[in-house]
Amino acid sequence: MAKEKETKVDAKSKKSGKDEKLFWVDSKGKRVDGRGINDLRAIKIQAGVLPNADGSCYLEWGQNKVLVAVNGPREVLPKHQANPYRAIVRYTYRMAAFSVTERKNPRPGRRETEISKVSGEALERAIFLERFPNTAIDIFVEVLDSNAGTRIACLTAAAVAVADAGIPMRDLVTGITVGRADSHQIVDLNKHEEDAEDAVDMAVAFLPNSKEVVLLQMDGEITQEEYSKLMQVAMDNVEKVYEIQKKALKESVENKKPEVVEGMEQYLSASPADHHSDDHNHDSSPKRGKVSMKEKDPFSFGETDYTEVEDENPDAEHEAFDAGKE
Ligand code: CDP
């Protein structure tokens, strides 16, 4: 895709060679990149892009480009991390060295650790973890290109990838950023707007049907009244993102085998009530090896089951992971 179009800020400073007074929202209600105050950048979502993963998603949100792979539910390695009552979610957010204007140190920093933690916890609110005791759901997120709002872009993509893996959830998780520039409340801030002197930048993620908040982070200072208004702006606009997520899942369903579609039906159902029912009918006995959620070989027609598949060498993957960290 073409690079995000040159903003008025770039154009102005190039022309005059010095800083000018900027209007974050001009008299016509236009922002520096030409959007209105409630306009999102263009969003494209494609599910099921990585055949080797159990679930996957590629998302573009303006200039942000992210790729998500989901593996699991599968055996927990190292074993001591296993929870006998529920699955654990391991969310790994990473930014590629080339994803920012200044080269980023590829070593994971505190920011990536923080984003991984809060995003994993947000998804935990959505997934029926208790159905898969002693297992791990691993979510690997790579930011390939960035221009503010990557944690929300990644979380939104990750929810689609989890659904694509056929993992049962109460609801998808859908995120949006809202904030303030001058005295205007705006949606989906870009990097210029986020870096404005008095900017307020609030990342929010919801379970979109119940509007339960599962992630909330903010930079800047606002009054309680402003916060309530911003939250309303977030709720009013998050639906747009949710619709694009559902569309991506519907499109990917068309390319899937019937038994996989069965596991994904709940995300496509119209009734919010469906998203909240948990029948507890699943086998909850501890499992070894990989938990097979679906038949992945497109040329075989085995039954969908939750039975274990023994790894020939269950520690191999963990050893490889550790080796990679050194
Ligand atoms: O991406 P998000 O808005 O969720 O997180 P942030 O910490 O507020 O970062 C805002 C933006 O700063 C990112 O989207 C990147 O474009 C940029 N950034 C950067 O240039 N270098 C970094 N090491 C981290 C972020």
3-state secondary structure 45-68: EEECCCCCCCEEEEEEECCEEEEE
pLDDT at 280 over 80: no
pLDDT at 227 over 90: yes
Q: Ligand 1 in contact with 103 (CB < 6 A)?
A: no
DSSP bridge partners of 3: none
pLDDT of residue 1: 44
pLDDT of residue 121: 98
Mean per-residue pLDDT of the chain:
82
d(CA 26, CA 8): 11
Q: What pLDDT, in 10s, does the model give residues 57-106?
A: 999 999 999 999 999 999 999 999 999 999 999 999 999 999 999 999 99
Q: Which of 1-5, 40-44, 67-71 has the lowest mean pLDDT?
A: 1-5
pLDDT of residue 261: 62
Q: Ligand 1 in contact with 143 (CB < 6 A)?
A: no
* 295 vs 226, residue with greater confidence: 226
d(CA 120, CA 278): 21
pLDDT of residue 195: 87
- This model's pTM is above 0.85: no
Atom of ligand 1 at shortest distance to CA of 177?
A: 3
Cα-based distances in Å from 84 to 101, 130, 286:
44, 9, 7
- Pairing state between β 135-145 and 88-95: parallel
Q: Ligand 1 in contact with 94 (CB < 6 A)?
A: no
* 150 vs 17, residue with greater confidence: 150
Q: Ligand 1 in contact with 190 (CB < 6 A)?
A: no
Q: How many CB atoms lie within 10 A of CB 219?
A: 12
pLDDT of residue 283: 42
Single-letter amino acid, residue 201: D
Residue 37's closest CA among 50, 45, 28, 47?
28
Asked if 322 contacts 78 with a C-beta cutoff of 8 angstroms, the reply is no
pLDDT of residue 311: 45
